[in-house]
Amino acid sequence: MQFINDYKGDIIKGNIYKLHTSDDLISVYYQALETVIANPSTEGKVAMHIWNALLIKGTIEIDDIEQQIKLISMKSPVSVLTNKFMIFEKDRFKRLTGPILTLNKNLDAVIVNGVFYMLTMQAENLFNMERSYKLRCEAKVEEISALNILSNTEAFKAVATKGQNPRRFVSYNPCRLDAIKDSRNRKKYMKMFNIEMKGDKIVTEDEKCSERLVKFLCDKAMLDPIDEEPREVTAAKVWS
């Protein structure tokens, strides 16, 4: 069974993720795509170019309203096959040597009604999302560092901008940063999530503390309702 969830940077097998095309993670790239679709290049030979994706545009009816839909595969539709043959009349075979147009049955993404549905994680490449969430990460890390609540800003930056942490900033929650601006709240919440403090400052020389702070700020840290111990979560959602 597949579930549709808001895109928060998590990668969970079997899930489909959605993101509005107005989201700042993809909005600039989406507008560029729309421009290209509106003014397609119709000159030149298809086989002479290198393609990295296929987009099919059409319309469907949703609740009796006609909506534009875009079906996207992140694989090239044109390929050159080796050691392949095609059967012709009288059981004769001919070796295929030229480019072949293949319409892939598997899709990586669908865009409909202003929503970008990611069927596979290859869909991230369509809008260069890795670059986008790294830029978001860098901006938020600078914002956090400027508050003078960390014992070592450079150590925190080194941890927060490497590995899986930039992806975690897709789900960055500014309310959590607001909550720890006050020193009393900061001490309370850091104690809850086993993040060490020295005076009023969060100890970020410790890589584990910096990592836990990132998880706390990006909705990846919750408390177990039974033992009240901190737990790492992948995709926290509003309780329903």
**For the segment 18-34, what is each residue's pLDDT rounded down to a tens digit?**
999 999 999 999 999 99
* pLDDT at residue 40 in the model: 75
Q: Are strands 93-95 and 15-20 parallel, antiparallel or unpaired?
A: unpaired
- For the cut 80, the answer to whether the pLDDT of residue 93 exceeds it is no
Confidence of residue 44 (pLDDT cuts 50, 70, 90): low
Quote the pLDDT of residue 17: 93
- pLDDT for 36 equals 87
Choose among 27, 24, 20, 7: nearest CA to 168: 7
- Res 64: pLDDT: 86
Place of tokens 């069927």: 119
Q: Which amino acid is at 80?
A: V
Q: CB–CB of 212/195 below 8 Å?
A: yes
Per-residue confidence band for 7, with pLDDT thresholds at 50, 70 and 90:
very high
Going by pLDDT thresholds of 50, 70 and 90, the confidence category of residue 194 is: very high
In this prediction, residues 181-197 reach a mean pLDDT of: 96
Percent of all residues in the chain with a pLDDT value above 70, rounded to a whole number: 90
Q: For the segment 111-169, what is each residue's pLDDT rounded down to a tens digit?
A: 999 999 999 989 999 999 999 999 999 999 999 999 999 999 999 999 999 999 999 99
Least Cα distance to 30 among 20, 39, 40 occurs for 20
